Amino acid sequence: MATIPSHLATDRYWKGVIHLFRNHYKLQSVFTTKYFNLEGGSIKIAALKKEAGPWSGSEKFMLNLALHLFNERNKVNLSDMHYLDENNKKLAMEAITLRFF
């Protein structure tokens, strides 16, 4: 992925998204211009969800969390955090903190 524009790197809706997509192994694989227009500040949400069809429950949770942090119209069930191992729980909490605190 190209360099993150400074206005997105400091935006509360983008900080958690960027953190997850940069640090989660599966999300890194789709952090591309195919799904992201960083200059325009948009994400191709439907295309990402389609790509994630065969992913595991924990991988889908991380995607859904990232999309929810970007825009609350994208729902996430926090109870699905039980799918996560300790490292991914930590990563999820870091992203939540970036968005809300």
**Above 80 in pLDDT, residue 1?**
no
pLDDT in tens, 30-75: 999 999 999 899 999 999 999 999 999 999 999 999 999 999 999 9
**Above 70 in pLDDT, residue 95?**
yes
Instruction: Using pLDDT thresholds of 50, 70 and 90, give the confidence band for residue 2.
Output: low
Non-local CB neighbours of 56 within 8 Å, separated by 6+ positions? 83
pTM given for the model: 0.94
Where in the chain are the domains? Answer: 6-100
